[in-house]
Amino acid sequence: MTDTPLIRREVTADRGPLHISTDEIYTAICNIKGESFTVREIANVIQRKRRCVQKQRIANAVKTGVSWLVAREAVEVSGSLRVRSRKQPKLFYLVTTYKLTRHPVVADFTLLYKALGLNPSHGIAIKEAGR
């Protein structure tokens, strides 16, 4: 046997960009235990659903989604971790950590209409008797 590697299914030119929605990223963030998280942790959660896609491709798409969430203030940068390189154990690199800033809340329009004195079914003002 020779030492030549077998065909690898990593890189091919015919693959287009991988699109992951920010909703999917946000759901993955909510499934991560702990207060802070990294892009790699989000990619690990998403890869459980998309087993046939490389983790690096998922991580690149997640970076884009997380930057979008940071710009909209749903996620904020919480710090960084010092991580040892696997290929060169003497080298370290910094990994950015993130945390959720707020949780989306479903608006209660019925309560809003009542507070404004509007009829929730029609959206018109309720006239009180005697005024």
CATH number at residue 57: 1.10.10.10
What is the model's pLDDT at position 67? 92
> Domains in the chain: how many in total?
1
Beta carbons of 58 and 43 less than 8 angstroms apart: yes
Query: Within a domain: residue 124?
Result: no
Q: What is the pLDDT of residues 41-88, one digit of tens each?
A: 999 999 998 888 888 889 999 999 999 999 888 899 999 999 998 889
Query: Within a domain: residue 5?
Result: no
Query: Within a domain: residue 33?
Result: yes
Position 1 pLDDT exceeds 90:
no
The arithmetic mean of pLDDT across residues 98-124, rounded, is: 71
Query: Within a domain: residue 80?
Result: yes
Q: Which amino acid is at 75?
A: V
Range of the domain at 75: 22-104
Continuous segment of H or E residues that includes residue 82: strand 75-84
Query: Within a domain: residue 16?
Result: no
Query: Within a domain: residue 66?
Result: yes
The CA distance from 115 to 16, in Å, is: 50
What is the model's pLDDT at position 55? 84
Query: Within a domain: residue 1?
Result: no
Query: Within a domain: residue 126?
Result: no
